[in-house]
Structure 1
Amino acid sequence: MIYKVLYQESSYEVPVRERTKSLYMEAESKKDVRRKLIDRNYNIEFIQELDEAHLEYEKQSELFAMENV
């Protein structure tokens, strides 16, 4: 499955919507996503599993890039 992860770059800062970033990655589950990103010290706000229609929509964005972990 492909997941969209919304996060802040530092887990020590208060989340601010304007500084929220996103990344896309393939994983078995949301728990697997968290396990793969644990060493990055991100403040993960939300993990969303993308269905085919949503994935195609996200691919239209110039910011779309799959993360290799």
Structure 2
Amino acid sequence: MPLVASRERSAAPFLRALAIESLWAVAAVALALTVVTHLAGPAGRAELMFLDGDSMIVPLFSHSILEGTAEQ
């Protein structure tokens, strides 16, 4: 039965890699949920992040046009 034993040994690295990849996927989802929860918190961070950032785009763009340094 050496053939069966070699199959079992070759499956172990695959299962180990699968377990490690699964743990990284769970960690990534947990981090994403933490960030979303933090931004959607009661302090209004999401509103500040989206509204304040959008209000700066037009002045920055017009300033770069006036200086002649607009992106090409």
Q: TM-score, normalised by structure 2?
A: 0.17
Specify which structure has the higher proportion of strand: 1
- Of structures 1 and 2, the larger Rg is shown by 2
Specify which structure has the higher proportion of helix: 2
Structure of greater relative contact order (alpha carbons < 8 Å, 6+ residues apart): 1
